[in-house]
Amino acid sequence: MKYRTMANVGKNLSLLGFGCMRLPVIDGADAHIDEAKAIQMIRDGIDCGINYIDTAYMYHGGNSEVVVGKALKDGYREKVWLADKLAAWYAKEPEDLDTIFEEQLRRLDDDYIDLYLIHNIDEANWKRVLRLGVIDFVKQLKEDGKIGHYGFSFHGSSAAFFKEVLDYTDWEFCQIQFNYMDTHIQAGLEGLLYAGEKGIPVVVMEPLKGGKLIDELPPTVQAYFDQLGSTRSPVDWALSWVADFPEVMTILSGMNTPQQLVENIDILSVSEPNSMSDEELQILENAAAEYNKLIRYGCTKCQYCMPCAVGINIPTIIDYLNQYSQYAGSEKIVNDFKMFIQPTRKVPSTCVQCGKCEDACPQHLKIMTAMSESAAIFEQGENNAR
């Protein structure tokens, strides 16, 4: 296993981190973790050199923390840096923050968290963080010896906003979404390099874009990889690309099978920064451009279509539909829809076809058609096979 140094605090962290958001489950129920299988995988990963274990308050309905705590018994806790996250959006008042933190310690059956992140910083959640004094709260936790180091995970809209958050206080590390398809969204490449300039270690999440970059590739994308005559797998290309950046400290992967664990360990046990050739980097850039050509609806998320008369988040639904087109009908996108959209009941089938969104759309998109197509794919289960 390769290790990179969290230079500002002197910790050597494994390049591969075990993300515990997608642990194996029973009967497809997200909250029903297959504990025996998950615990064995986490321990196998630690035995192979992984020392960064990442969980969060709301993963698997709160059960991820419980299973992680069990996995780290029998001497495994001393071998790892445990990362957990504070979901500030569950807090209404400042005193709720302590309630959440204490609940996390009970779930983990622990009295200390090595790396503690303020979870999911976007524009709306940032306002809540500031209003509730969350940053002062986590700093006090460190002073009290309850956590080792504090940071934040980012899901905001732009690199400019990422820089604003990064510059706000003396963060010890941060976590961003980063892969060869996401160089210009959220923090992106600009944000990664900026954190590097400031000497702030970066943990990367979604290096495989939730698995979408390693499923069956569209033929036009596969053609670019075939140009090199390489036998490297899609997961090898994607992880090696992220590892090529020296600013990246740890790459989180949400592994849910032993095979994924072994493959990821093999790849990131040999990956070095600045080791990919110019030709390889160009191939990945071309592949990303080809993926983007497969977008069906050129939505810019300008929000002119909003608010919808029946409450549908139109840009988000179109984004799911575009991803389904881009990634060869990946079942993972259908599952994401069921996890994040279906429970809200603001699904595309509730569209009343009033046409107001189309009248307002500066891109002149056929939004009503997009809602019908989305309902057929994500709600009815039609044509879901790859």
- Domain containing 327 equals 314-379
Q: How far is CA 123 from CA 30, 154, 165, 248, 338, in A?
A: 28, 10, 10, 24, 25
Is there a contact between 118 and 137 (Cβ–Cβ < 8 Å)?
A: no
pLDDT score of 25: 92
Copy the structure tokens of residue 28.
Answer: 């497809």
Distance, in Å, from the CA atom of 354 to the CA atom of 309, rounded to the nearest integer, reads 8
Residue 260 lies in a domain: yes
Tens of pLDDT along 135-165? 999 999 999 999 999 999 999 989 999 999 9
Residues 219 and 321 reside in one and the same domain: no
Q: Are residues 262 and 334 in the same domain?
A: no
The answer to whether residue 240 sits within a structural domain is: yes
120 and 229 both lie in a single domain: yes
322 with 269, same domain: the answer is no
pLDDT of residue 383 exceeding 60, the answer is no
More confident residue, 186 or 217: 186
CA atoms within 13 A on the CB side of 193: 7
The span from the CA of 53 to the CA of 50, in Å, is 8
Give per-residue pLDDT as tens, 323-364. 898 887 888 899 889 888 988 889 999 999 999 999 998 788
Q: Domain check: are 204 and 279 in the same one?
A: yes
* CATH code: domain of residue 18: 3.20.20.100
For strand 113-121 and strand 147-154, is the pairing parallel, antiparallel, or unpaired?
Answer: parallel
Assess if residue 297 is contained within a domain.
no
Residue 370 lies in a domain: yes
243 and 358 co-located in one domain: no
Residue 172, pLDDT > 80, answer yes
Does 300 reside within a domain?
A: no
264 pLDDT band, cuts 50/70/90, is very high
Q: What is the pLDDT of residue 230?
A: 74
pLDDT of amino acid 381? 52
pTM of the predicted model, to two decimals? 0.84
Residue range 126-131: mean pLDDT, rounded? 97
Query: Same structural domain for residues 126 and 225?
Result: yes
For residues 364 and 242, membership in a common domain is answered with: no
How much is the pLDDT for 237? 92
Mean pLDDT in residue range 249-278: 95
Q: Residue 216 pLDDT more than 80?
A: no
Total domains, the chain: 2
Same domain, 253 and 134: yes
Whether residue 320 is found in the same domain as residue 215: no
Residue 367 CA to residue 358 CA, distance in Å, equals 6
Classify residue 382 as exposed, middle or buried by CB count within 10 Å of its CB (0-12, 13-18, 19+): exposed
Report whether pLDDT(294) > 90: no
C-alpha of 197 from chain center: 23
Check whether residue 356 and residue 216 sit in a common domain: no
Are 167 and 262 in a shared domain? yes
